Structure formats: C-alpha cells, structure tokens
Amino acid sequence: MWSNFFVQQDEEGRIGVAGAGQGGGLGGKKGGRGQRRSQKMSDSQEGKIKLAFFISIIGVTLTVLGMGTEFWVELSQSKNFSGNQTCQMAHYGLWKGCIRTLWVADIDPERTSCGPAELPGESNCTYFKFFTSGENAVIFKKTTNKNLNLAAAVLALMSLTMMVMGSICIAMSLSKGVPFFLKPASFCFILSGVLVLLSILLFHQSVLALLSSDHSIPLHHELSWSVACVGSAGAILIFGGVLFILLSLPYSPWQKCFPHKNSAT
C-alpha cells in the first residue's frame, strides 16, 4: 500500500514539473514575441526614412504639376501656312487642349514652325469630351484616339492612388515608430513610378495616332515641359521606393557589400 502511494506521488510531481516547464517555455516565447513587437526604430533610421520620404514627395509634387497642366505636347503649323501675319499652334495634356494664335513677327526668324506656346497671343482652351460624352477631339483636322488618351489618363490616376497609399504607409510607420510599413510603401512608390512612365508612353502613342489620322496639314510636334516633369517624377518615385526597400532590411547593405577589413568573416 505504501509503495503504491509513493509511486503515485512521484508521478504527480513529474507531471507538475513538466507542466511548469511547458508553461515557462510558452511564457518565454510570448515574451520573446512581445520584445520583437516592441522594438522601435532608432533615431538615425527615422531620419533616413524622413529623407527618403522627402525625396518621394518631390516626385509626387512633380507628378501633380505635370498632370494638371496641358503642356504635354505642342503641335505647330508652319508659320507661313496661313499666309498672313498670324499662325496657329496647339498644345494639350491629359484633360484639356488649347489652340493658340500667335503673331509671326514674335517668332524667332530661324524657326520654321509656329511657336513656342509661351509667346503672347490669343488662346482658346477646352476640355476633352471623351471623358464625358465619348467624342473624339479634332485638332487641325486630325482626330484623337480616345482609347489611348483614356488609357494614359487612367494610368496617371492609378499612379496618384498608389502615391497616396505609399504616403499613408510612411506616415503610419513614422507615427508608430516601426519599420513594418516600409515594404508596402516601397511597393506603392515603385509601382506608381512605373505607371507614370507607362502613361507617358501611351500618351506619345496617342500623339502619333493623332498625326497619322490626316496628312492634309503638316504639323511639327514636340513633347513639352509637362512630360519632362512627369518623367522626372517617375524616376524619383522609383528611386524613393528602392530607398524604402533598403531601409526596411534588417542589416545595412553597405556593410554587407563592403565589410570591414578587420572582420574575420
């Protein structure tokens, strides 16, 4: 009888010790997870994130500036096409187009075409109707390709949406003090830069389609400063996204690629 009693007590003691060990292990795991989650970014890392965000904001500003203006392309007739003291040219962007009447005397004598658009003259601007009624625009007897124009505008709007999402991720990362949102932000900014560049390519194809629609009036065309703003913005946004990827890594890429000479590994 006494032997059975001691054996039972010994088994209960072992079960108690095992249960305490498992509880301690689980507690240690939970504590480790809590320590990982409570890790905050350092002041130097936060400063680098703010600098990369400032670079990305420059790209966002240039994108908004380029998308809101109608100087994506300039189409100009020969300055002697009408045979009088004035000539006409056109410039348009994603949403609006303008026809300008300039004085031939104000144009550079070495320039054969009418322009540039910065010269003083009368301007008549209208918004494109293919966003509302689906009608194509006619510029100097040439018809626009509304499908290409709409695709370029949609890509530009999608890029703006991705910029807003990336900015929200960076703001949350800085407010919470954790680098978790850097990777989603980098994806948003890189994708927005790619969409901006694709929008420029589609817009250029729409210009070529416009010129090939009618050959009765020869026109000189050139991409203007709005495209330069948007193209620079796309490159800056991609660069900012790459910076956020590098800042989200758990190690320094510079030290990984160029280790110290005194390092044993």
All structural domains of the chain with their residue ranges: 45-249
pLDDT tens, the chain, 265 aa long: 445 544 454 545 554 444 444 444 444 444 444 444 435 667 788 888 999 999 999 999 999 999 999 999 999 988 888 778 888 899 999 999 999 999 988 888 888 888 888 888 888 999 998 888 888 888 888 888 889 999 999 999 999 999 999 999 999 988 888 778 889 999 999 999 999 999 999 999 999 999 998 888 888 889 999 999 999 999 999 999 999 998 887 765 555 555 555 444 4
CA distances from 189 to 59, 162, 234 (A): 9, 7, 9
CA distance 118 to 121: 9
Cis peptide before 116 (omega within 30 of 0): yes
Buried b (16+ CB within 10 A) or exposed e, 91-130: bbbbeebbbbebeeeebeeeeebbbbbeeebeeeeeebeb
Distance CA 5, CA 107 (A): 113
Closest CA to 86 of 71, 102, 98: 102
pTM of the model: 0.77
Q: 168 exposed, middle or buried (CB, 10 Å; 0-12, 13-18, 19+)?
A: middle
Instruction: Determine the 3-state secondary structure of 127 from DSSP.
Output: strand
To which residue do tokens 């100009």 refer? 76
Question: From residue 38, how far is each of 101, 117, 226, 251 by CA, in Å?
Answer: 65, 58, 46, 18
Distance CA 130, CA 133 (A): 6
Give the other-Cβ count within 10 Å of 248's Cβ.
Answer: 18
Q: What dihedral angle (degrees, nearest 10) is formed by the CA atoms of 135, 136, 137, 141?
A: -130
Phi/psi of residue 159, each to 5°? -65, -40
* Fold topology of 45-249: Butyryl-CoA Dehydrogenase, subunit A; domain 3 (1.20.140)
